[in-house]
Structure 1
Amino acid sequence: MAEVVQVFQLQHPLLGCINGTDGDVVAFRGIQYATLENRLAEAVIKDSYPKTIDATKYGPISPNPPGSFQLEMKLMQQTQPDPDYLTSSDTEALNLNIWIPKGREGQLLQNLPVYVFIHGGGFISGSGNSPHYDLTRLVKLSAAKGTPIIGVTVNYRLGLLGLLTSQELRDADFKANNQLRDQRAAFQWLKKYIEGFGGDPENITASGESTGGERIFALLGTPYDELFTRVPMNIAYRPMLDGDVVPFAMNHGNVQDKESKIPGRRWLNGLVIGDCQFDASSLAILAGFKKSNIAKKFPDIMRTRLGDSATTERLLVAYDADASNDDETVFTGFLRFSTDIGYYAATCSFAQGWAPITHTFAFNEPNPWSGMFQGHATHVFDIAMLFQNFQTDLPAAQVEAGRQMAADLFLFVHGRPPWVTADKGTMVYGPSVVGPVRNVVSGRLPEEAGRRRAIIDASDAINIDEIAAAHAAFMASA
């Protein structure tokens, strides 16, 4: 039997008639925000549309490697069939999805703050169309809480289409950083058109998870103050300097330096940043091949990059990478090290350099689902709770904890402090077992937040960017 779609028709003052899907929340899916002359061309903001725009279905996504969706499910320790609506295109994937709450009379609410989510996926996979990123429940909850928001997810080029560059390509006028250029185009489109959907173009919050958080982090290094004003994110790695979309090197030193010239300092109004207690759980799958002979390779590279010092040895011991341990033990320690240098260290750096506008959090909710890291606060599990899409699969305490996390997000998107700034304390979510756990612990990144101090203590003697470079060197090693 064919699916029956209830159509909601919007008369947009600039775009004309747009057909979306009606329900508790109105959704407009697959709206193209930019066009491409070819698959490696720079994104051009779309400003010409048909008389009636069909936004009742998801648009195509950038090509993903085979099995990408099931890999996402494996990382979450969930099982879901591949969505039958996911199609891909090299040139038509620059589209976005918009969810809007309705008022009591069924009308679209107006002048709402806008929450934009940039999906992760290791730069090469994922999409804003994935069912676990559907923002219907989150947007509906925002209205029920009296803090209504508009939700947006964005599709952008992945893999070689988004990252490929070389001197030869640049000489032929193919620019670097297509992923960032796509995302910049999406924000520029939203600034121009979101008001016609009931959004406030001067109140846009950019959010990202994993590599999506890194993309937002990279955009802080751009001078484009017209993009967004607030940022909640989770951070990993970095893009290429190109003097244009990425003119400024973003690293721990620059972030920590209160006098640095990072462009985002001039225009960002607020920042929420945090990490999952075991964020690098994803590497157990994505980098499992590094386990072989890691008991020798990892300490050797660390000593080569950081020096054979007492500080280096203390760091290795803290992560079970001393000579007495086997590959399995050292690999587990390496995952903890990766969590701390890849995610927690970024939280620390922003807490140090951006404290007056920064709110930090520690996500300690245990993943309840069967898998190798059941009982740990795994990568992306925070999004599973926040977006409300797994409520039937979660214990009651975590369902309520997810609602509390969402309520904090709504406050932030509305420009109100969700909790104290980073110089005064950190929000700790979980572990919620008997009931929801949401506590602010005082002081800057205290140990009560459930985090290790080894990286921070080592950075007193070794530059933290050098520690990050040592980690990157091991990841890049044969």
Structure 2
Amino acid sequence: MVSLSTTYLGEIRGETDGNVEEYLGIPYATLRNRWADAVLVSDREGPVLDVTNYGPTAVSPPSGCDLEFSIMQHSLPRGDLPQSHTGCLNLNISIPHTTEKPPVLPVFVFIHGGGYEIGASSWPQFKLARTDENYPSYRLGPFGFLTSDELRQRGYKANNGLRDQRVALNWIARHIADFGGDPENITVAGVSAGGASVMHHLHSTQPLFKRAIVMSGSYFLLPPLPLSKHEENYKEAMAALGLKHLPVDERIKALLDIPAQEIASHLLRSVIAAPAIDGDIITECPTFADLAAPNNEYPKAKAWCEELLVGDVQMDGNIIRVLMPGAEVNCADKFTGILKAILHAHPETAQKILDHYGISPSNPDDQVFTAVLDYFNDIAFFMPTLAAAQGWAGKAFVYYFNEGNSWDGPTKGRAGHLLDTVYLFENFREFLEPEQQALGRQFAGGFIKFCHGRAPWGSVESNDLEKGFNARVYGSRDGSDGAVRDVHYPFGGDTDRRGLLWECAREGVSLDQLLEVFHLFRGF
């Protein structure tokens, strides 16, 4: 065990794990009830605070961790962790263990993904053991994102999950110096829904961090919805819970009293867990046109966040198969109908897309759905990477993760969603070949350089993807030599990326139109 005297929190007791000190389950905020605003823990008095064990996780499906293992196609030992609807706002901190006073460390904050429905700061696949690292939990599912007029009228704001993350960032800025971290040198990273969260935080008028990392996630994949759509969502939720016909005050009381796991399980598939355009945390619906424009003030963080690192995995789109079970049935007709309706003024472009991806009703459903997923991968994961890099005002660094998954499963041989985190955090190293372990060290090393303010590789120059593009490619599908290489073109060749949609956008069809195809297919 190890003890630490802090400025505002008194003495806290953590644990050592090899060369790392861990402070687990530190409460960063309190909740009056499950729907209320998070209140920052600014200071505390009392006996030594024991933070040697993980804190409760947010209420979510108990099978969530195993689901994520299935996407990665490998598992790790894990313990059973309690869930709490009011005690889940805690974070974990890892710092180097040394007998000498260490130098002030850059701070790395990681926001987990999980579609705003699953995830926890204590899952073993994301165990942190480098620099000064922080991993907050936040409210998920209905408690994180359900909203309605009647809830807001009673003081329960929209976007609890994102608000929780903001409070965690404020806690880190206030307290991290006691752990040896530099509050003026914070990098915030997120994967999938966590990456989308980071992009939302880039719209804050308040400076929150110095650098941002967006991994395989954007608010185009999980778009914020207008309050009118959330109102419909809420009505469906009340019907699913059997509360539809209660008077408002009784309904609110029931939402406070019904066991939290019961609410979460009833609403898992009947309502959408998505942020809301609330005029506060999220003020407008994001567009590709705004994100890709270098000479605007979109997002607001162009004024205060110095650098951006953004990247994707070669086949991130495989996650959509998990999100849409059964969607392969008659998918060629459905996709074709939506695409041609959206591009009714551009029939030649629509046909070019169908031919390029091989989407035809004459092919078997499963084959067509794989092609549809390629389209979804490109519009929801790859195009946001390019748009963010082109539009960023400061230095933007791009990576492509292409190393094929060597474990048995649906994406064996291809780089699927979350595989970059397998290599980044190195928690699966004993299940990887030596050359794969070396790739992981190089991948993580690039992120560490970025956190230290050093260029991990060449940045995109002059917001020009044609003449000034640079990216780092990690791995390859076929295991060929040159596992790490730099490219100077955004697609084709060694990138293993398709550029048709980007080219279509230069010929009169907008990326926002092409994104609408994805959302209509999903039923958004």
TM over 0.5: yes
2:513 maps to which residue? 466
Cα distance in 2 between the residues matched to 1:54 and 1:434: 49
2:210 maps to which residue? 229
1:359 maps to which residue? 397
Aligned equivalent of 1:372, options 406, 410, 417: 410
Aligned equivalent of 1:193, options 175, 180, 187: 175
Within a 5 Å distance, the mapping from 1:3-14 to structure 2 comes to 7-14=1-8
Contact kept in structure 1, 2:76 and 2:124, CA below 8 Å: no
Deviates more, 1:89-98 or 1:431-440: 431-440
Contact kept in structure 1, 2:311 and 2:398, CA below 8 Å: yes
Q: Does 1:46 align with 2:41?
A: yes
Cα distance in 2 between the residues matched to 1:163 and 1:85: 25
2:238 maps to which residue? none
Q: 1:394 to 1:436 in 2, by over 3 A?
A: farther
Cα distance in 2 between the residues matched to 1:312 and 1:306: 6
Secondary structure in 1 aligned to 2:205? coil
Residue 11 of structure 1, CA deviation? 0.8
2:278 maps to which residue? 242
1:428-465 Cα deviation digits (max 9, x unpaired): 00128376611111234554311001211221221101
Contact kept in structure 1, 2:492 and 2:499, CA below 8 Å: no
Deviates more, 1:240-249 or 1:108-117: 240-249
Q: Does 1:57 align with 2:50?
A: no
Within a 5 Å distance, the mapping from 1:50-89 to structure 2 comes to 50-81=46-77, 83-89=78-84
2:201 maps to which residue? 219
1:30 maps to which residue? 25
Query: 1:74 is aligned with what amino acid?
Result: S
Within a 5 Å distance, the mapping from 1:170-319 to structure 2 comes to 170-225=152-207, 227-234=208-215, 235-236=217-218, 237-239=222-224, 240-261=276-297, 262-307=299-344, 309-319=347-357
Contact kept in structure 1, 2:492 and 2:498, CA below 8 Å: no
Query: 1:457 is aligned with what amino acid?
Result: E
Cα distance in 1 between the residues matched to 2:384 and 2:80: 36
1:342-397 Cα deviation digits (max 9, x unpaired): 11011110122126410011110111100011010011010001101011101111
Cα distance in 2 between the residues matched to 1:292 and 1:108: 61
Contact kept in structure 1, 2:405 and 2:415, CA below 8 Å: yes
Deviates more, 1:320-329 or 1:294-303: 320-329
2:370 maps to which residue? 332
Q: 1:354 to 1:54 in 2, by over 3 A?
A: same
Query: 2:158 is aligned with what amino acid?
Result: A
Secondary structure in 2 aligned to 1:290? coil
Query: 1:448 is aligned with what amino acid?
Result: D
Cα distance in 1 between the residues matched to 2:458 and 2:492: 14
Q: Does 1:453 align with 2:435?
A: no
Residue 318 of structure 1, CA deviation? 1.7
2:433 maps to which residue? 395
Contact kept in structure 2, 1:135 and 1:151, CA below 8 Å: yes
1:145 maps to which residue? none
Contact kept in structure 2, 1:364 and 1:450, CA below 8 Å: yes
Residue 157 of structure 1, CA deviation? 0.2
1:156 maps to which residue? 138
Report sequence identity in percent.
Answer: 36
Contact kept in structure 1, 2:331 and 2:369, CA below 8 Å: yes
Cα distance in 2 between the residues matched to 1:270 and 1:306: 36
Q: Does 1:122 align with 2:115?
A: yes
Residue 168 of structure 1, CA deviation? 1.8
Contact kept in structure 2, 1:58 and 1:85, CA below 8 Å: no
Aligned equivalent of 1:424, options 469, 484, 489: 469
Cα distance in 2 between the residues matched to 1:295 and 1:213: 30
Cα distance in 2 between the residues matched to 1:48 and 1:13: 8
Contact kept in structure 2, 1:221 and 1:249, CA below 8 Å: no
Cα distance in 2 between the residues matched to 1:247 and 1:369: 42
Q: 1:324 to 1:189 in 2, by over 3 A?
A: same
So what's the TM-score if we normalise by structure 2?
0.84
Secondary structure in 1 aligned to 2:317? helix
Number of residue pairs aligned between Structure 1 and Structure 2: 456
Cα distance in 2 between the residues matched to 1:112 and 1:33: 20
| CA RMSD in angstroms, aligned pairs only | 1.7
Contact kept in structure 1, 2:332 and 2:368, CA below 8 Å: yes
1:252-309 Cα deviation digits (max 9, x unpaired): 1111112322211111111110100000112222212211111211111121222261
Aligned equivalent of 2:522, options 456, 459, 475: 475
Cα distance in 1 between the residues matched to 2:391 and 2:185: 24
Secondary structure in 1 aligned to 2:457? coil
Cα distance in 1 between the residues matched to 2:95 and 2:62: 33
Cα distance in 2 between the residues matched to 1:449 and 1:364: 8
Q: 1:248 to 1:301 in 2, by over 3 A?
A: closer
Secondary structure in 1 aligned to 2:326? helix
Query: Structure 2 unaligned runs (5+)?
Result: 225-275, 461-467
Contact kept in structure 2, 1:356 and 1:421, CA below 8 Å: no
Cα distance in 2 between the residues matched to 1:127 and 1:468: 29
Aligned equivalent of 1:98, options 73, 93, 99: 93
Within a 5 Å distance, the mapping from 1:402-413 to structure 2 comes to 402-413=440-451
Secondary structure in 2 aligned to 1:254? helix
Contact kept in structure 2, 1:62 and 1:156, CA below 8 Å: yes
Query: 1:247 is aligned with what amino acid?
Result: T
Query: 2:484 is aligned with what amino acid?
Result: R
Deviates more, 1:287-296 or 1:174-183: 287-296
1:144 maps to which residue? none
Secondary structure in 2 aligned to 1:233? strand
Cα distance in 2 between the residues matched to 1:436 and 1:58: 40
Query: 2:399 is aligned with what amino acid?
Result: F
Cα distance in 2 between the residues matched to 1:188 and 1:13: 15
Query: Structure 1 unaligned runs (5+)?
Result: 1-6, 140-148
Cα distance in 1 between the residues matched to 2:393 and 2:73: 35
Query: 1:287 is aligned with what amino acid?
Result: M
Contact kept in structure 1, 2:491 and 2:498, CA below 8 Å: no
Secondary structure in 2 aligned to 1:258? coil
Q: Does 1:383 align with 2:421?
A: yes
Secondary structure in 1 aligned to 2:167? helix
1:439 maps to which residue? 485
2:267 maps to which residue? none
Secondary structure in 2 aligned to 1:359? strand
Cα distance in 2 between the residues matched to 1:255 and 1:304: 25
